[in-house]
Amino acid sequence: MYPVRQGNTCLTLFSNVPFLYLVFIIFGTKFPLLKLIFIIISSILLTMSSCRKGGTPLPASDYRNYDKAYAFLSTDQDSAFYYFNRVVTESPDSQQVALAYTTMAMLQTDAGDYFGCQESLTSSLKFLNARDAEGRNDLANNYNELGMSSTKLRNYTDAIDYYDQALSSNKDSTFIPTILNNQANAYRHKKEYGPALELYQKAIRSKSTTAKVYARILTNMATTKWLSDHTYPAAPELRQALAIRQREKDLWGQNSSYAHLADYYMNSRPDSALNYADRMYAIAQRLHSADDQLEALQKLIKLSPGQLTKAYFARYNQLNDSLQTVRNAAKNQFALIRYNTEKHKADKLRLQKENSEKNYQITKQWAVIFIILTMAIAGGIIFAQRSRRKQVETEAKAKQELQDYQLSTSKKIHDVVANGLYQVMAEIEHQPELDKEILATRIDILYKQSRAISYNHSLEFNYQDFDREITDMLTSFSNPQITIITAGNEASTWDAIGVSTFNEIKNILLELLINMKKHSHADRVVLRFQRDHVRLHIRYQDNGIGLPQPTKFGNGLNNTGNRIKTMNGSITFDSNNGAGLVITMSIPIA
C-alpha cells in the first residue's frame, strides 16, 4: 500500500482573504473606492472557494536502486554513488536512506573528499533511530567515521568528541576496542600521550579484541610510548605485532607495521629502516594503495643511496600528481551526480504539480486577471500620493550611487596609478641594472589597468604563482639600506586563496611597504605568513619610528583597514613605544 500525502489544493490566492480585510481596514475609510473593490473581490473569492481534496502517492520502498548500488560498489564507484544518491532522494525507508548516506560517505573518504564525507554522515544521522539496537550500532559506526574524517582534517578535538559519542551509542562489544584505538590515535596526534596510552591499555585488555585489532593496538601503543620517550625499546612489541599480522595474512596490517618500524629505526639503524620501507612499498603496491605508496616513497627518498633517490623522487611526483587528478575528478563527479539527481527530482515534482492543476488553470487564470485589474485600479488611486516620495528616493539613490562610484574610482586610481607607479619608481631606484623589457612590461600593465578604470572593467590579474608575485613585489623595495625578510611565503600558503582575495592582500602589503619607505625610516622589515585550514595570518614588523601618538591614519593605512574589513578579516597596530611598528592581520581563506 502506498503512503499518501493528504492536503488542501485550493487556489493559493484564497488564503489571502484575511490580507484583503487588513487592506480594507487601513485604506477603506480614506479611499471609498477601495470599499467597493474589496466587496467585489471578496464576493468572487467566496463564490470560487470550493477546495479540492487530493493526495500524491509516494513510491513504495523497494531495493532495486539499493541493490544496483551495491552491485557497482567494487567495480564502478561513480555508478554506485549515483544509485545510492537515488536511494536517499527517492526511498521512504529511513533505515535504507541512512545506510546509503553512510556508504556514500565512505566512497567520498576514498576519494579524499573529507568535507563531503562529513556532510553525508551528518545527513545519515538524521535518519537513524537511536531507540533500537540496530540503529544505535549504525549511529556508533557513523560517529566513528566522523571521528576518522575529522582526524584526516586534523580536527583532533572534534574527532575525540565524535569517538565519545560512538562509545555512548555502541551496543556491539567487538567494536569497542576499535573505537578506543581510534580515539587514542587522535590524542597521539595532539601529542597528549598520557590519555592516549590509557585508552590503548583499556582497548588491549578488552575480552572482545581480535588478533588483528590486538596487533593494531599493540603497534600504536608501542609507537606512542616511543614518541613520548625516545629511549623506550619499542622494537620487540612492533615485531610481535608484525608476526601476528603475518600469521593472520593481514596485508594492511603488515603495511602499517613496516611503516612504524621504518620510523623507529630511521635515526638509529638506517639500514634496517630502509629494509622496512622497501617492504612497505612492496605491500602498498600489492594493495594498490596510492597513499601508502607515497608514504613509503618518502621514507625511501630519505634512506636510499644517492643513485636511487632520483628514481624514487620521480616516481613520487608522478604518483602524487596522478592521485590528485583522480581524486579531484572523483570529487567533481560526485558533486555533479548530486546536482543532476536533485535537478531531476525538482523537475519531476514540478511536472506532477502542473499535471495535478491542469484542469483548474482556466478558472485560476481568470481569477488572477480580474484581481490584478482591480488591484491595479486601487494602485492607481494610491500611486499619485506615493509618486513624489519615490521620486525623492530615486534621486537620493542616484546621488548615493554616484558618490559610491566616485569613491570606488578614487580607490582604483590610488591602487593602480599611485601605488603601481611608486613600486616601479622603487625598482628603478634600487635596481639600476633593471631590464628594460621588464620595466616596459610593468609600465604596460599600469597603462592597461588605467584604461580599465576608464571603461569600468575588472582590474584583477590571474597570477599563476602567488608566492613569486609577492617575492617580486618585496624585492622591488629591498636595497642595501632596507632589508626585507620573509617567512612562510610558499606555494602551499596561497593554496585555495582566490585571485580577488590575493589582489587585496597584495595591495595591503604594497600600502604598508610604501608607508614604511615614506614615513617610518626603517631599515629592516620582517614579514611572516602563516595559515591554518580557515584563515591566513600575516605579521608585519619594522624597526622604524612607529606610529605617532595620538595616531592619525592617512589614506594609505585607512585603505588598509577598509580592505581588511571587506574581506571579513581583522587587523591590529602596535607602535611598540617608538621602537618600530608591528601589524598583525588575520584573513579568512574562503
- Region 250-275 average pLDDT: 94
- Residue 568 pLDDT exceeds 70: yes
Question: How high does pLDDT run on average in the chain?
Answer: 79
3-state secondary structure of 320: helix
pLDDT in tens, 317-369: 988 888 777 667 666 666 666 666 665 555 555 665 666 666 666 666 766 77
pLDDT in tens, 429-451: 656 666 666 666 667 666 666 76
Counting residues of the chain whose pLDDT is more than 70, the rounded percentage is 67
Q: Are 345 and 127 in contact (CB under 8 A)?
A: no
Tell which wins on pLDDT, 307 or 285: 285
- Region 209-238 average pLDDT: 94
In this prediction, residue 88 carries a pLDDT of 83
- Residue 462 pLDDT exceeds 80: no
Q: Quote the CA–CA distance of 338 and 332 in Å, as a whole number.
A: 10
Instruction: Please return the burial class of 378, using the count of CB atoms within 10 Å of its CB with bins 0-12, 13-18 and 19+.
Output: middle
Q: Are 563 and 507 in contact (CB under 8 A)?
A: yes
Domain ranges (residues) in the chain: 464-590
Of 41-50, 126-135, 166-175, 350-359, the poorest mean pLDDT is in 41-50
In this prediction, residue 64 carries a pLDDT of 84
Q: Model confidence at 58, in pLDDT bands (50, 70, 90)?
A: very low
3-state secondary structure of 111: coil
Q: Model confidence at 26, in pLDDT bands (50, 70, 90)?
A: low
- Residue 28 pLDDT exceeds 60: no
Looking up cell 536511494, which residue turns up? Answer: 87
Q: Quote the CA–CA distance of 508 and 330 in Å, as a whole number.
A: 37
- Residue 57 pLDDT exceeds 70: no
In this prediction, residue 1 carries a pLDDT of 28
Of 257-266, 341-350, 365-374, 512-521, the poorest mean pLDDT is in 341-350
- Residue 18 pLDDT exceeds 90: no
Tell which wins on pLDDT, 61 or 388: 388
- Region 16-35 average pLDDT: 53
Q: Quote the CA–CA distance of 567 and 538 in Å, as a whole number.
A: 14
CATH label, 464-590, candidates 2.30.180.10, 3.30.565.10, 3.40.50.880, 1.20.210.10: 3.30.565.10
Give the CA count within 13 Å in the CB-facing half-sphere of 125: 18
Counting residues of the chain whose pLDDT is more than 90, the rounded percentage is 31
Beta pairing class for 524-531 and 4-8: unpaired
In this prediction, residue 220 carries a pLDDT of 94
- Residue 272 pLDDT exceeds 90: yes
- Residue 565 pLDDT exceeds 80: yes
Q: Are 525 and 483 in contact (CB under 8 A)?
A: yes
In this prediction, residue 100 carries a pLDDT of 86
Q: Are 508 and 563 in contact (CB under 8 A)?
A: yes
The 3 state secondary structure assigned to 443-490 is: HHHHHHHHHHHHCCCCCCCCCCCHHHHHHHHHHHHCECCEEEEEECCC
Question: Cell for 140?
Answer: 556508533
Angle, helices 235-247 vs 211-228, to 10°: value is 160
In this prediction, residue 36 carries a pLDDT of 58
Q: Model confidence at 15, in pLDDT bands (50, 70, 90)?
A: very low
- Residue 103 pLDDT exceeds 80: yes
- Residue 275 pLDDT exceeds 90: yes
Task: Return all residues near 364 (Cβ < 8 A) that are at least 6 apart.
Answer: 11, 357
Q: Which of 166-170, 370-374, 546-550 has the highest mean pLDDT?
A: 166-170
Q: Which of 53-62, 117-126, 189-198, 417-426 has the highest mean pLDDT?
A: 189-198
- 550 upstream amide cis, omega within 30 of 0: yes
Task: Return all residues near 413 (Cβ < 8 A) that are at least 6 apart.
Answer: 453
Tell which wins on pLDDT, 130 or 27: 130
